[in-house]
C-alpha cells in the first residue's frame, strides 16, 4: 500500500514538473502573473512556473507583424468619396504594455489607422490624394507610432495599398490620361520633324559650303597656274633679251627681231600690216635683211613690153 502511494506521489510530481516547466522559443515573450498580479516577463529559454500560484497571462510574439485593413470609404476635401485600404507594419517592443495597455490592442490599432486615414485624406483634395502617397504614408506612420507607444507597439511604416475613386472619376481620369498621351505623342512627332528639318538644313548648308570651298580652291589653282605660266613666259622673254644683250647685239639686230615678229604676223589672218617709216628706213640700211626678205627695196621693176595692138579686119 505504501509503495502504491509513493508511486502515485512520484507520478503527480512528474506531472507537475511537466506542466510547470516551460520553454519560451526565440522571438517570443510570456507575461507571468502571480496570484493575479504581474510578476515578470519570460524571455527565450527554460522557465519554471510555481504550480497553482503562477499563470501565463499572455504569450506575445516580438516579430514584425502586418495589419492589412480592408478598404474603407474616405471623403476628400472636395467631397469625393473613394475606397482606400492600408497596410501597417508593426512589432511589439514591450510585452507588459502590450498585455495591459489596451484591450485587444490589434483591433485598437486597426481602428486608429482608419480614423487617422480619414483625418489626413479629409484635408486633401482628390488630385493631392492621388499624388501624395508618400506624404500620407509618412504622416500616418508618425501619428500611429506616437499613439501606440503606450500599448507597447512600434509602428515601423504604413503603406496605402489601393486608392479606388468612383467610377465616373476613373472614366474622367482615363480620358485625361489619354489626352495627355496624345499631346505627348504630338509633341514628340513635332520635335522629331523639327530635328529632321534642322539636320537636313545643316547637311545642305555643309554641302554648299564644301562645294563653294571646292570651287574657290579650283579657281585659286587655275589662277595660280595662269600666273605661273605668264611668269614663266615673261621670264623666258626677259632671259632671251638678257642673252642678246650679253652677246653684244646692237640696235639693228634688235630691230631685226622686231621685223621677224612682223613677218610672223603677216602669216596670220590679218589683211593689212602697217610698218612705221623709221622701221622701213632702218631696213633699207640693213642690206642683208633687204636681200633676204625684199622688204624696203626701192628699185623699180623693169616695165613689161607692150604687146602690138590687133588690127580690126573689118575696118582696115
pLDDT digit string (tens) for the chain, length 316 residues = 667 777 777 777 777 777 888 889 998 999 999 988 999 999 999 888 888 888 899 999 999 999 998 888 998 888 888 899 999 999 999 999 999 988 899 999 999 999 999 999 999 888 888 888 899 999 999 999 999 999 999 999 999 988 888 888 778 777 888 888 888 888 888 988 889 999 889 888 889 998 888 888 888 988 888 888 888 888 887 777 777 667 665 565 666 666 666 666 566 555 555 555 555 555 455 444 445 445 444 444 455 555 555 554 444 4
Distances (CA, A) of 138 to 118, 159, 230, 295: 15, 9, 92, 124
What domain range is 30 assigned to? 2-60
- Where is the domain boundary, 165, 193, 217? 165
Cα separation, 296 vs 131, whole angstroms: 117
79 with 122, same domain? yes
**What's the structural domain count of the chain?**
2
Cα separation, 15 vs 9, whole angstroms: 10
CATH number for the domain including 80?
3.30.479.30
Q: Identify whether 239 is part of a domain.
A: no
115 with 142, same domain? yes
293 with 262: CB under 8 angstroms? no
117 with 84: CB under 8 angstroms? yes
Q: Identify whether 274 is part of a domain.
A: no
As given in the structure block, the three cell numbers for residue 17 are: 514538473
54 with 76, same domain? no
Q: Identify whether 184 is part of a domain.
A: no
Amino acid at each position: 500500500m505504501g509503495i502504491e502511494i509513493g508511486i502515485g506521489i512520484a507520478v503527480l510530481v512528474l506531472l507537475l514538473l511537466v506542466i510547470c516547466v516551460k520553454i519560451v522559443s526565440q522571438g517570443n515573450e510570456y507575461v507571468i502573473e502571480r496570484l493575479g498580479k504581474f510578476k515578470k516577463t519570460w524571455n527565450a529559454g527554460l522557465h519554471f512556473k510555481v504550480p497553482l500560484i503562477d499563470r501565463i497571462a499572455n504569450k506575445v510574439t516580438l516579430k514584425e507583424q502586418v495589419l492589412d485593413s480592408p478598404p474603407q470609404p474616405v471623403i476628400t476635401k472636395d467631397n469625393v468619396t473613394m475606397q482606400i485600404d492600408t497596410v501597417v507594419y508593426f512589432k511589439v517592443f514591450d510585452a507588459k504594455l502590450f498585455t495591459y495597455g489596451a484591450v485587444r490592442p490589434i483591433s485598437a490599432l486597426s481602428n486608429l489607422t482608419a480614423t487617422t486615414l480619414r483625418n489626413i485624406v479629409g484635408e486633401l483634395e482628390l488630385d493631392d490624394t492621388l499624388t501624395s502617397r508618400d506624404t500620407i504614408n509618412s504622416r500616418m506612420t508618425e501619428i500611429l507610432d506616437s499613439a501606440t507607444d503606450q500599448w507597447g507597439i512600434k509602428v515601423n511604416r504604413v503603406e496605402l495599398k489601393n486608392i479606388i475613386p468612383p467610377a465616373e472619376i476613373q472614366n474622367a481620369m482615363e480620358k485625361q490620361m489619354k489626352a495627355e498621351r496624345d499631346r505627348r505623342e504630338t509633341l514628340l512627332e513635332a520635335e522629331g520633324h523639327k530635328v529632321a528639318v534642322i539636320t537636313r538644313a545643316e547637311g545642305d548648308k555643309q554641302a554648299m559650303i564644301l562645294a563653294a570651298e571646292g570651287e574657290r580652291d579650283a579657281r585659286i589653282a587655275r589662277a595660280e597656274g595662269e600666273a605661273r605660266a605668264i611668269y614663266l613666259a615673261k621670264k623666258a622673254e626677259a632671259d632671251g633679251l638678257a642673252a642678246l644683250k650679253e652677246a653684244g647685239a646692237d640696235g639693228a639686230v634688235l630691230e631685226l627681231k622686231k621685223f621677224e615678229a612682223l613677218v610672223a604676223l603677216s602669216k596670220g589672218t590679218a589683211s593689212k600690216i602697217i610698218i612705221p617709216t623709221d622701221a622701213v628706213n632702218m631696213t633699207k640700211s640693213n642690206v642683208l635683211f633687204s636681200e633676204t626678205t625684199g622688204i624696203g627695196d626701192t628699185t623699180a621693176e623693169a616695165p613689161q613690153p607692150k604687146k602690138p595692138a590687133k588690127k580690126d579686119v573689118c575696118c582696115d
